[in-house]
Amino acid sequence: MNKYVTLLKKYQLIIVNVAIIIIVIIAFMSFGKNKVITVSAIAMNVRTGPGIENEISTQVQRGDQLVVLKEEKQWYQVRLASRRTGWVASWLFDDSQDSPATNQVATVNTADTKLRKDPNTEGEEIQSLKKGKVVTITSEQNGWSNVTVGKKHGWIFSELLTLGAPSKNDKDIIDADQLFAREEGTKVRSTPSIDGAVIATLKADAKLNFKQRDGQWYQVETEDGQSGYVANWVVSFEEPGKNTKKASSLAETTIVLDPGHGGSDVGAQSNDETISEKIITLATAHYVEAALKELGANVILTRDDDSLVELGDIALISNRKRADAFISFHYDSTEISNEASGFTTYFYDDGDKTLAETLNKHLEKELPLPNRGVEKGDYQVIRENERPAILLELGYMNNDNDAHTFKTKKFQRQVATAVTNALDEYFSK
C-alpha cells in the first residue's frame, strides 16, 4: 500500500512541475511578443501620457528593463516592474551610444543657436534659440546634446550650452545701462568706498556706463573712458528731466515682483516647520504674476525658482527695468509663537504712501486676516529702490491660524485679486 502511495506522490510532483514549466513557457512567449528596452540614464522620468506636458508619475533608474506596450507620437507606453504603466520618450532609446545626462538643466550661451532634428550640422532646423534660453539635456551623443525646450525636443551642439540655469544677475542685469549723476560734484572713486581716491568729479546729469554692482557701490565707466566706482545714492538710472509720468493703465506697466528670500535663505518657518517663507512667497508671486499678465502688464520676477538673489541686486533689477511698481512679498514672524496675526503694508519713500494705502485697502477687502495697517519701513529692497516700491508682510509664519490660512491656494488667489485691483486703481487715477 505504501508503495502505491509513494508512486502516486511522484506522479503528482511530475504533473505539478510540468504545469509550472508550461506556465513559464507561455509567459515567456507572451513576454517575447513585446519589445524590451533598458534604461541607460541614471534616472528617467515616466509620464502619465505621451508628451512632456503630461505629469511625471514616477522615475526609472539605470538598468531598469521596460516592456514596450505601444508607441505613439515618439513616445513609448511601457510596463514597469511594479506592473504599473507609463510613458517614456522613445528618442532617448534610439541610439545605444547615448550617454546619460540625468535631465540636466543648461543655458544656451550663443545667440541664434539652432535646435536640430538630428545630431549633426546637416540636421533640419526646428527652432532658433536666443542666448540665455534654458533647456533640459536628456542625453548626449558624439558631442551633441538631446534637449527639450518647452514642448519641443531636438539636438544642440554641446559646446553651445553651459550647464546650469543662468543666475538672476545674469538674466536680469545683463546689458550695460546708463547712469546719471544726481548732483554737481558727484565723485568717481578708485575703490568701492568713500575712502577710495577720487579719479573724476562729475557735473550734474553727467552720463556713466553701468558695469556691475559691488555692495552699495556701482562700478562704472565715465564718458572719457575712466573706470571707477560711485555710491548708489548719488546716481540714478532715470535720466534727469525725463518725463516720468505714471502709466495711465495697468496694461502699459512694468511690474517687478520680488518673492522674498530663496535658496539658502529660507526665511521664517511655520511652528511645525512644514512651511518655509521662501516657498510661500514664491507661490504668492506666481499667482500675482498670472493675474497681472491677464490684464496685459509686463511682469518681471526677481526670482522664479528656489534661488537666492542678493538684496542689492533686487532693487537694482527694479531700477534698471524702470518698473512702474515694485512689490516685495514676505511673511512675518515674532519671537513668541501665536503672538501676532495679520498683514502689514510698508513703504519707504513718502511718495509711495499712496500706492501703499491703495494696496492695503484692497488687501483688507480680500484677505481673511487682520489688517495691521500701513507703516514706513526701512528695508533695503525698498530703501534703495528708485521706483514706486512696497513691501508686504502677508501674515505670520509662527501663527498657526495665519499659516493654516495663507498656505492655501484660495488665499494666494485672494492676494492676486487684491494686488491686481489695487494696481488697476492706482494707475487709473
Fold of domain 99-166: SH3 type barrels. (2.30.30)
Name the more confident of 189 and 151: 189
Percent of the chain's residues with pLDDT above 70: 77
CATH superfamily entry for domain 250-428: Zn-dependent exopeptidases (3.40.630.40)
For residue 13, pLDDT over 70 is answered with no
Fold of domain 36-91: SH3 type barrels. (2.30.30)
For residue 63, pLDDT over 80 is answered with no
Task: Give the C-alpha separation, 197 to 135, whole Å.
Answer: 45
| CB burial readout 337-346, b (16+ within 10 A) else e | eeebbbbbbb
- Contact present, 163 and 106 (Cβ < 8 Å): yes
Residue whose entry in the numeric block shows the C-alpha cell 566706482 = 229
E strand residue ranges, 361-409? 371-376, 389-396
- Contact present, 93 and 71 (Cβ < 8 Å): no
pLDDT of residue 82: 65
N-terminal to C-terminal alpha carbon distance within the chain: 109
Name the more confident of 126 and 161: 126
> How would residue 348 be classed by pLDDT, with cut points 50, 70 and 90?
very high
Cell of 182: 544726481
Cell of 102: 540625468
Longest dimension (CA), the chain: 122
Query: What 8-state DSSP symbol labels residue 269?
Result: B
Q: Where are the domains of the chain?
A: 1-33, 36-91, 99-166, 176-236, 250-428
Whether the model pTM is above 0.75 = no
CATH number of 176-236: 2.30.30.40
For 420, list phi and psi in degrees, rounded to 5: -65, -45
Q: Which among 49-53, 300-304, 419-423 has the top mean pLDDT?
A: 419-423
> How would residue 382 be classed by pLDDT, with cut points 50, 70 and 90?
very high
pLDDT of residue 358: 97
Angstrom CA distances, 314 to 31, 99, 297, 381, 386, stand at 58, 39, 20, 6, 12
pLDDT of residue 100: 40
pLDDT of residue 111: 66
Domains 99-166 and 250-428 share a fold: no
Task: Please give the angle made by the CA atoms of 132, 138 and 139, to the nearest 5 degrees.
Answer: 110
> How would residue 159 be classed by pLDDT, with cut points 50, 70 and 90?
low
pLDDT of residue 241: 61
Compute the average pLDDT of residues 168-179: 50
